[in-house]
Structure 1
Amino acid sequence: MSSSYQALKPARPDLDSAGLPYSPDYGDIYHAAQGSLAQARHVFLAGNSLPGRWAGRERFVVCETGFGLGGNFLALWQAWRADPSRCRRLHVVSLEAHPFTREGLLAMWRASLAPELQDLAAQLHAQWPDPLPGLHRLEFEGGALTLTLGFGQALELAPRLEARVDAYFFDGFSPARNPEMWSPHLFRRLARMAAPDATLATWCSAGHVRRAMEDAGFLVERKPGLHGKRHMVAGVRRTLRTPGKARLPQAHGGPRTALVIGGGPAGAGMAHALALRGWQVTVVDPMAVRDGGVHQGHTAAACVPLIARDDNPRARLARAGNLRTWARWSALAGDAAPLRCGALQMQRLEGRAGDPRDALAALDFPADWVRWMEQDEASECAGLHLSQGGVYFASGMLVRPPQLLGALLAFPGIRHVQASVAALRHGTDGWQAQDAAGQVLAVGAVLIMTSAVASWPLLQQTGLPADAAPRLATVQATGGAIASWPSGRLAGGPSCVLGAEGYVLPALAGRCVLGSTYEEDKTTWTQTARRLAIAEKMPAMLADAGLATTDGAEDWWGGDWAGWRALVPGRLPVLGPVPQLPDAWVATAFGSRGFSWAALAGDVVAASLEGEPLPLERDLLEAIRP
């Protein structure tokens, strides 16, 4: 197991003898006896001169250590909501090593939350994530308020954050109970994100804590504490220099217009994420993308996370993508919304090392999110007689590509140019997409390449050398095909996504999609060969020989569709700014996870362009850069 991985241990709800929220693991209370709202207002809001400091700003970013019961966040939200001079967008990043479960959070609120915060708390509870390690992006007020929760040890998460912080809320259990939360190392790691006018506040006035904050680059002073406590501490950034290498996200300074090349999952996710933030986006693709484009006829696809014993980057990205897919697209209308049906991943016959039960034990993820099912339980869950048990992901989803892509690209602010791009040019008006005759098809201040294997050749024409984007230069195409059987041929079809050597999806319109092939050269595969390759994968999942057989199957095959996957070695996506090219980005090599990574990729790029805290950790961003 990776030395950096630590399984999350959720907080245990409890109250002390005075009825205050209490942690039996740390032997300390969560907030002052006067209540979390009074403490938040006196210490964290007033200590950071809020709400006054955000007046008239486009955005304001708060970083908090110790989310706990969310009292500071709810008080901040309430103050922002009530302020007519508030910033247009408020972003909060909060770290929590021991998040409460949904049930635990609700129980503690019933005992301690101020009545005036109940309505806001209900909105937070409705989006509260499972206790899974990593970053979780929540959005409120139509996206004007975001909460990025970092679940894990603060010292591990702090260097992985990407944000430009205007105010710090340093909270947590007392230094005697939890010294790591008040260590010089943590303050230095967080201070690298400080904006030039950043401020801080904390209830803790211990001398060694003040000195650690000063060493991190802040000028601090003691102020009167909340009733009954002599002192609290407030501070301001002392110099323009922060410890370590400062990497502060900067919002795009030019016109908020984007040129997206490619209208598949990556392009649609990108355009939608930008349009949600008020950008004007032009998508250029030779196909009629609002009718599904190249995915016309691709009736169903699966979005399923994966696990690895060491929780490696691919597993973390798959989990982050799965969570973001649901958060971003679940509210779409009708058939455009993903169907959360669950997914059962069975072991492949070859090439899969280790027992997944060992990984599940090591990861210790919540059983509500992922767990092992033995053969009998798995068969009952799927509604079919299966050949083996497997790993069950409750968050597994089915999407309908044409409907999903059409809905994303029909969002206000997105227009489509149906044409093939032959060249790209950068000039005073930004980026131009040109056809073979040199005619300008569309322009945008920012260029985003999402055209799979075609992205690299087009960027090369701008003079970009191969060593500038070594991962992008290795993108290759692999063909893939699906087909379908009548659901009656599969006893009505599975209730959840089934995966092993291949996959079977729940029935849509009386047919189950089966997949898929992996073709080095798509042109050499006949329809018959593809169907045979798919059918050969069925016995690894279906124990009923009558269901798995292909005898006499000619009459019930249908729904054939074939496309290309873009891949690079290591099977991680390629996502990030294109080196040496101004205002140019690329999102490609999503492989078989196009619909699993599209929403996440769109929000990563859009957040970068908007100067928001990023919804993905720095080490993962480094792993997927071009």
Structure 2
Amino acid sequence: MAPVFTPLIPSRPAFEAGGVPYSPRYGDIYHAAQGAIEQARHVFLAGNALPERWRGRERFTVCETGFGLGLTFLALWRAWRDDPQRCGRLHVVSVEAHPFAREDLAQLLATQAPPGWQDMASQLLAAWPPLLPGLHRLDLDGGRVTLTLAFGLAERVVPQLRLAADAFFLDGFSPARNPEMWSESLMKGLAKLAAPGATAATWASAGAVRRALQAAGFEVEKRPGFGGKRHMTVARFSPRFARPGAARVPPAPAARHAVVVGAGVAGSGVAHALALRGWRVTVLDAAAGLAPAGTGHVAAALTPVLAKDDAPRARLTRAGALRAAARWAPWMDGHIVDRCGTVQQAKSDGQVAGMHAMLEVLGFPAEWVRPVTQEEASALAGCRTSRGGVFFPGGLRVRPHALCQALLASPGIELRAGRAARIAPRLGGGWQVVDAGGAVLAEGGVVVLANAGDAPRLLADSGWAGPGRADCRFFQQKRIAGQITLLPADTGQPRCVVAGDGYVLPPVDGYRVVGSTYVHDAEEAAATQAGHALNLDRLARLLPELAARVEPGAIRGWAGWRAVLPGRLPVIGELPDAPGLWVAAGYASRGLSWSALAGDIVAASLEGEPMPLEGDLLRMVGWR
């Protein structure tokens, strides 16, 4: 049974008489009066034998309960920066039920962070996410440090985390005031995330805390405390028996070389994510991704969805939108990626009130989504809309071809022309991709099929669709044709994406994109007059004044295929009986939503990083 939705309730700055940050909700201070940085160094770093334990390692992962003001995280980051023998990458996952909004956190860090730490504080604030439930990955220090913020109640969030923690910072408010953060069930949930030899430390020394850690498989000891406390607690994970579902630490790949089949939105997203982590990537595409600029699918929209009680599909599209905005920041220039916003128009007058009521329940911040009347929607669009709805300030208009070119231009990526006919195991391990004549196009330890509707065919021709596999959701994929209509843009309207039953995009290269059709059982993907008529009908329902100015003789169009799986969700995962062979395909109508997120899921899995998505959502898009 799915848990009842609980809105995220932010914290607000408050202080004790002595100036120590304080939580009125829990009646407790955020750190000892003697100083947050000193407390972090004494309790959490020294209590976990840091920095010594990360030396000589490629990666080190810390799991923290209670992000608070972020001062413990900054102290950890500072120690990592200052250590010449530091690990290659530092990953931190921090659970926080009541985060601060960016402006409030900025106010607190301005007075609480040491003067020499402005660079770190500025990076943290620049990447700080909107206060939305779920996981938010922040890439800091050039990607060498990652912070995954898990916003939500710990008892709900922790069971959904997927990571292998080397150290735990247990930093909730007092056990007497915040018992849920110290319960035996939560400690057992954290233990499932523990890598072999994991340690834990906390300023708390209550008997109930020590007993909870012991019940979870930790060996516990007391040490001298900090800030007037006689004792603190340190622990080492040492379970008596192997436990099912324990965290698995994958071995670091001996040679970071991957072959990605497909140079479209899916393939470029995977290749880019791997290249950012230092992988060498060979991308294969029948046309080498070199379609002439300005032709074909000239522009598309990325807009999240809303759902009552924040249903899983809405959480997935939100995660995809957030990841895309972070990954595509270098190209957020208004040309390749334009953060123009999206008016999501209600489909009927009666639906407007329902959409607004849903926002009240969800409690999402206005920087993510806000209700709009017809007048407000029209002002945002720069032309009259049919009705109101909601506005997503972060809605994107994207030029897919230009974006793919930019992603594939990243260092470490080689683009090759070639049509894959089969995937075959390579002698000595890994895989080969061969063409119809048997010539090897590329080979590597990892192969990722990101070639949309051709991926099931390729697997089938390679012998991976036999008994026990053919009933997999992936092999039930359908191709559905779709058409967009291009209209000459005589003005700059609409100024934002306008969506509802269909969509209209702001002008690109003198054209407005209106879409799109869904044609089942089509023999070919072709732009037709019937398709144009359907799209123009959508335009009339969204923006009637613009529709009235359309000149039929100036209409152009483009058509393509969607690769659609049952449930309209992609498959992103490794084949269960073929280590190193991955699929990232079946993106349906939301290729832009899945591109960056899927890339990070694949890359994080291969690198042994904390996963950027909750466990229940990973299962929804996994291989099955």
TM-score in terms of structure 1 length: 0.95
Are positions 1:69 and 2:69 aligned together?
yes
Residue number in structure 2 paired with 1:553: 552
Which whole-Å CA distance do the structure 2 matches of 1:403 and 1:523 have between them? 25
Contact preservation (8 Å) 1:162, 1:248: no
Over 3 Å counting, the alpha-carbon distance change for 1:466 and 1:278 in structure 2 is: farther
Contact preservation (8 Å) 1:93, 1:149: yes
Over 3 Å counting, the alpha-carbon distance change for 1:292 and 1:29 in structure 2 is: farther
Residue number in structure 1 paired with 2:266: 266
Give ranges in structure 2 of 5+ residues lacking alignment: none
Which whole-Å CA distance do the structure 2 matches of 1:51 and 1:106 have between them? 28
Residue number in structure 2 paired with 1:201: 201
Amino acid paired to 1:451: N
Residue number in structure 2 paired with 1:530: 531
Contact preservation (8 Å) 1:162, 1:249: no
Residue number in structure 2 paired with 1:8: 8
Which whole-Å CA distance do the structure 2 matches of 1:79 and 1:194 have between them? 22
Contact preservation (8 Å) 2:12, 2:104: yes
Give the counterpart of 2:479 among 477, 484, 487: 477
Contact preservation (8 Å) 1:326, 1:338: no
Runs of 4+ in 1 over 4 A off after TM superposition: 240-244, 290-293, 333-337, 349-354
What secondary structure is seen at the aligned counterpart in 2 of 1:289? coil
What secondary structure is seen at the aligned counterpart in 1 of 2:34? coil
Which whole-Å CA distance do the structure 2 matches of 1:551 and 1:604 have between them? 43
Residue number in structure 2 paired with 1:309: 308
Which whole-Å CA distance do the structure 1 matches of 2:371 and 2:78 have between them? 42
Which whole-Å CA distance do the structure 2 matches of 1:480 and 1:349 have between them? 25
Which whole-Å CA distance do the structure 2 matches of 1:218 and 1:361 have between them? 43
Give, in angstroms, the shift of residue 471 of structure 1. Answer: 1.5
Contact preservation (8 Å) 2:352, 2:388: no
Residue number in structure 2 paired with 1:539: 540
Contact preservation (8 Å) 1:220, 1:234: yes
Contact preservation (8 Å) 1:62, 1:93: yes
What secondary structure is seen at the aligned counterpart in 1 of 2:309? coil
Residue number in structure 2 paired with 1:600: 597
Which whole-Å CA distance do the structure 2 matches of 1:368 and 1:350 have between them? 25
Give, in angstroms, the shift of residue 131 of structure 1. Answer: 0.6
Amino acid paired to 1:479: A
Name the count of aligned residue pairs.
619
Contact preservation (8 Å) 2:571, 2:585: yes
Residue number in structure 2 paired with 1:151: 151
Contact preservation (8 Å) 2:266, 2:585: yes
Give, in angstroms, the shift of residue 134 of structure 1. Answer: 0.4
Q: What is the CA deviation profile of residues 183-220 of structure 1, one whole-angstrom value per residue up to 9, with x for unaligned ones?
A: 01111001111111111100000001001001111111
Give the counterpart of 2:610 among 604, 610, 613: 613
Amino acid paired to 2:473: R
Are positions 1:583 and 2:580 aligned together?
yes
Give, in angstroms, the shift of residue 312 of structure 1. Answer: 1.6
What secondary structure is seen at the aligned counterpart in 1 of 2:200? strand
Give, in angstroms, the shift of residue 118 of structure 1. Answer: 2.9
Contact preservation (8 Å) 2:487, 2:550: no
Give the counterpart of 2:621 among 609, 619, 624: 624
Residue number in structure 1 paired with 2:489: 487
Give, in angstroms, the shift of residue 513 of structure 1. Answer: 1.3
What secondary structure is seen at the aligned counterpart in 1 of 2:568? coil
What secondary structure is seen at the aligned counterpart in 2 of 1:499? strand
Q: What is the CA deviation profile of residues 386-433 of structure 1, one whole-angstrom value per residue up to 9, with x for unaligned ones?
A: 110011111100111121110111111111221211111112242111
Give ranges in structure 1 of 5+ residues lacking alignment: none
Which whole-Å CA distance do the structure 1 matches of 2:242 and 2:489 have between them? 61
Q: What is the CA deviation profile of residues 136-191 of structure 1, one whole-angstrom value per residue up to 9, with x for unaligned ones?
A: 00011111100000000111111111111100000011011110000011110011
Residue number in structure 2 paired with 1:82: 82
Which whole-Å CA distance do the structure 1 matches of 2:159 and 2:350 have between them? 35
Give, in angstroms, the shift of residue 3 of structure 1. Answer: 2.8
Moved more, 456-465 or 65-74: 456-465
Contact preservation (8 Å) 1:61, 1:165: yes
Q: What is the CA deviation profile of residues 68-122 of structure 1, one whole-angstrom value per residue up to 9, with x for unaligned ones?
A: 0001100000000000000010000000000100111122223433323333111
Contact preservation (8 Å) 1:578, 1:585: yes
Contact preservation (8 Å) 1:331, 1:337: no
Moved more, 458-467 or 82-91: 458-467
TM-align CA RMSD: 2.1
1:501-520 mapped onto 2 (5 Å cutoff): 501-520=501-520
What secondary structure is seen at the aligned counterpart in 2 of 1:84? coil
